[in-house]
A and B are shown apart, each in its own frame.
Chain A
Amino acid sequence: MNNSIAKEKIISLRKKRSLEDMRFKYYGFTAMCLSLAVLVFLLYTIFSKGYTAFQKTIVLLEVDYNQEVLKLTPDSSDEDMEKGKFFRVKKQAIENFFPDLSKSDIKLVKKLFSINVDKEIKDYFLDNPEVINTKQQIWVTAHSDVDQLLKGNSRRDVPEDRRKLNDIQLSYVDQLVEENRVKQVFNNFFFTKADSRHPEIAGVAGSFMGSLFTLFTVFILSFPIAIGASVYLEEFAPKNRITELIEVNISNLAAVPSIVFGLLGLGVLLNVFGLPRSTPLVGGSVLALMTLPTIIIACRASLKAVPPSIKEGALAVGATKTQAVFHHVVPLALPGTLTGTIIGLAQALGETAPLIMIGMIAFIPNIPTGLTEPSAALPVQIYLWVESAERGFQEKSAAAIMVILIFLFMMNAIAVFLRNRFERKW
């Protein structure tokens, strides 16, 4: 009797314990799934907000290239054509965009078009000078407000004063849709233009080039220095106080917040050395100092992975230590060091705060062509667009995030490829 009660107790206790075990395992599983779910949700948010930025809205506009309005003749020289009065042609085209428009209506219609339309009308003419004195149907870029409305990013059911487009403009847009005079095409501006105040013609080309130049500077500075430092620390450094100091320094630098490196760049590189502000040269130098510890740690690991027998073999046949290291150990460790460098560069690519500190946050509307020219960088561009009040920039920022993530993904893929292809297991 007593025995069976004890048995039952034991069984129930065991049940309880194994239930607890299950529950604990389940907690861990849930935590893991939650973390991954956030990742999925993050990527989904970016994609769903950003994919529309790869399309732009264009409107069919009938342009009359009348020679009298343009103040040109069919045999004007190219130089004269540059000076043609295209704004008058555009004005006329907009006045005739819908039949019987009043003066106030024309103002409203004008706001349906991008600021870039003048240039598009002009470029079309310069490409085809024979269209003079003819009427042409041209697809021109629509204003961002129209674009956002048609993409469904801005709502039309809110009160009029909280909308960018008023009721009359909405009816115009509806009419355009009905008459098939508006359509969506691939947004080439996003990949060919730099930043702009107008969302419909803003692109990532400028900041992308800025990021490339910055990464180039980072690579040029950090790769040789990191290899030099790690070779010294791994192979030559005597075991003394100074070496220890350097090692402690490196491990502490790795944990210094990136914004402090920005302050270093501002306080030393800009104020003391007077290097040009907002340039990839300064941005790259700061990021190189920031990523140096990461790269050094990776380089040292790959130098350590080369078996000592190789160096000893070289020493045995009479090589000096320098020869043994630079002719045998370093070449064998090179793939590993390159992998580490690429991972460091990937870290540098996403870094925003130090670049803001050294002024790469300035509005740069053209594509940089050199290291000492003011330029933007991709992450800072994203920040600028996120902070912007204009609705049209939000999808741009998500799309720019996609660009930066793809860029990062490719860098990591290269690193993995290098590791798998060249790294030898001893």
Chain B
Amino acid sequence: MFFWSLVLIAVGIFSSFIYGRSRIKLNSKKQGTKSKSLPNYYAQYVLMWCLFPALIVYFSWAIFQEQIIQNIVISNFEFIEGAVYNEGLLLAEIRNVANNPSFADGKSIEIINAASHYSSLRQISQISFYTSIIIIMLLGALYASQKLKPEFHAQHTIEKYIQYILIFCSSVAIFTTIGIVFSLIFESLRFFAEVSIFEFLFSTEWYPFIPIREGQTAAEGSFGAVPIFAGTFLVMVVAMCVAVPLGLLTAIYLAEYASQRVRKIVKPLLEILAGIPTIVYGFFAFVSVAPFVKAFGQSIGIDASPTSALAAGMVMGVMIIPFISSLSDDVINSVPQSLREASLGIGANKAETIKKVILPAALPGIVGAFLLAISRAIGETMIVVVAAGTAPNLTGNPFENVTTVTVQIVVALIGDQEFDNPRTLSAFALGLVLFVITLFLNIIALQIVKRYRERYE
């Protein structure tokens, strides 16, 4: 359906353009005056009036059609008294029967009726969709063609429209943020209506079970997220323990010691490390590092679980190395040369210059880089999903199984997504926490880096 409507719109674009061009030429010939703008601008004017209203109709139809049809079908459904219906399943069944008549065997008469109702509504919707698009395009073109007079400044109008389009493009970023904030807050509020915010933030029991039957108390879940936050923190600390020394020393070596040739070879290699998808790191952690950690733990007498904070954290640290090294590299390079020369000039050697002059001077920038790296580590998902496990352990032992915020979000949303229970909604509350923390870290880091840059520029 939508392919042919695209073809329809393309035809509309093409013909409106041709029409606008020839029409203005004709009009200006009739009046014997030259048009104020080039014919192409008039053509573009007609085109825009033809295209944009049609696109709005197109998208609103695409978005709302299915929902409206489903609502009508459900509201007309002949519910049998006493029977219990699940709306989602019912709809799925109706749709299946409508799309595939062979599924109708053995289905109850109400469902078959609803299915035929559904398909007839779809047909009506399709026909009216095409007619409304054609009518909208014709109306738009008609409105525009009335303005096709030689004294009309088509170019000015077009340029104004282009400005609007550009402004719309730039505001997509704002809409995205608003969308994120609202969807997180809205669903989180639903979650906190059932689970108190204090329990969520300060309780140490995380059993995201939900009662299957009404009034079942044995499986009452509890949503204390402290073990999750602790697990996230533990994995992050392990990751930073790997990434900070390696990343920082690599950056120092590349910025201060390495020859041009080494830099040229190593920097792209580190970029490769940065460009590897995180699921690949997850595989690596699962297949190579986790068994190694388990074996190592056993050899020193610690019973390590097959998925551990240490394995996930180490691999995550490797993932962050290029991030830290390239940021620190920039920071170290922007320390003014004069500081370096002054230090070397009074007889300090390179290591002393780096340790006593460059690093202190670059410290704010490096701290900013660390904060960004921490926010990266907290938000990282796939490595921990594959390698850290799902058990909410409140422990400081990196050989044990821990879970993180991102893992719990994934666990809560895999499988059935019924939005009426706290288990699913907890993902949004955890997402909100994650979003706030990373945003906070980020703003601080960017402030620090900015202030640092200003100091030396």
A interface with B by C-beta (< 8 Å): 17-18, 20-21, 23-25, 27-32, 34-36, 38-39, 41-42, 45-46, 49, 224-229, 231-233, 236-237, 245-246, 249-253, 255-261, 263-264, 266-268, 271-275, 289, 292-293, 296, 320-322, 326, 346-347, 349-353, 356-357, 359, 361, 372, 379, 382-383, 386-387, 394, 397-398, 401, 404-405, 408, 412
What is the bound-complex CA distance between A39 and B315, given in angstroms? 11
Q: Residue B312 at the A interface, CB < 8 A? A: no
Task: Assess the A257–B438 pair: CB atoms within 8 A.
Answer: yes
Q: Which of B168, B266, B284 contacts A42 (CB 8 A)?
A: B284
Q: Which of B165, B272, B321 contacts A228 (CB 8 A)?
A: B165
In the complex, residue of chain B having the shortest beta-carbon distance to the beta carbon of A20: B351
Question: How would residues 174 to 189 of chain B score, 1 for a CB under 8 Å from any chain A CB and 0 otherwise?
Answer: 1011011011101100
Task: Assess the A18–B386 pair: CB atoms within 8 A.
Answer: no
In the complex, residue of chain A having the shortest beta-carbon distance to the beta carbon of B1: A372
Residues of A within 8 A of B413 (CB): 266, 356-357
Check A31/B442 contact, CB under 8 A, given A45-B288, A352-B277: no
Report whether over half of chain A's contact residues are helix, strand or loop; otherwise say mixed.
helix
What is the bound-complex CA distance between A42 and B272, given in angstroms? 12
Q: Which of A34, A379, A383, A412 contacts B275 (CB 8 A)?
A: A412
Find the residue from A35, A272, A320 having the highest chain B CB count within 10 A. A35
Residues of B within 8 A of A20 (CB): 349, 351-352
Task: Assess the B166–A228 pair: CB atoms within 8 A.
Answer: yes
Q: Contact size class for B? A: 35 or more
Name B367-398 residues within 8 Å CB distance of A. Answer: 372, 375-376, 378-382, 385-386
Report whether over half of chain B's contact residues are helix, strand or loop; otherwise say mixed.
helix
Q: Which of B176, B270, B386 contacts A292 (CB 8 A)?
A: B176
27 inter-chain pairs at a CB distance below 8 angstroms, sorted by A residue, are: A25-B351, A29-B253, A31-B253, A32-B249, A34-B246, A35-B246, A38-B318, A42-B280, A45-B284, A49-B287, A233-B170, A246-B173, A256-B379, A263-B409, A263-B431, A266-B417, A268-B183, A274-B66, A274-B67, A292-B172, A320-B155, A346-B275, A353-B406, A353-B410, A383-B382, A397-B283, A404-B277
Residues of B within 8 A of A408 (CB): 275-277
Task: Assess the B318–A249 pair: CB atoms within 8 A.
Answer: no
Task: Assess the B180–A292 pair: CB atoms within 8 A.
Answer: no
Residues of B within 8 A of A386 (CB): 279, 282-283, 286-287, 386
What is the bound-complex CA distance between A31 and B182, given in angstroms? 44
B interface with A by C-beta (< 8 Å): 2, 63-64, 66-67, 155, 159, 162-163, 165-174, 176-177, 179-180, 182-184, 186-187, 245-250, 252-254, 256-258, 266, 269-270, 272-273, 275-284, 286-288, 318, 321-322, 325, 349-352, 354-355, 372, 375-376, 378-382, 385-386, 406, 409-410, 413-414, 417, 419, 427-428, 431, 434-435, 438-439, 442-443, 446
* Minimal beta-carbon separation of A376 from chain B (angstroms): 13
* Minimal beta-carbon separation of A239 from chain B (angstroms): 14
Task: Assess the B173–A250 pair: CB atoms within 8 A.
Answer: yes
Task: Assess the A353–B253 pair: CB atoms within 8 A.
Answer: no
* Minimal beta-carbon separation of A332 from chain B (angstroms): 18
In the complex, besides A21-B351, A255-B372, A404-B277, 13 extra interface pairs with C-beta distance below 8 angstroms are A21-B350, A36-B266, A49-B287, A227-B169, A229-B166, A232-B167, A259-B379, A260-B180, A263-B431, A264-B176, A352-B279, A359-B417, A383-B385
Task: Assess the B434–A296 pair: CB atoms within 8 A.
Answer: no
Residues of A within 8 A of B354 (CB): 24
Q: Which of A249, A256, A361, A372 contacts B435 (CB 8 A)?
A: A256
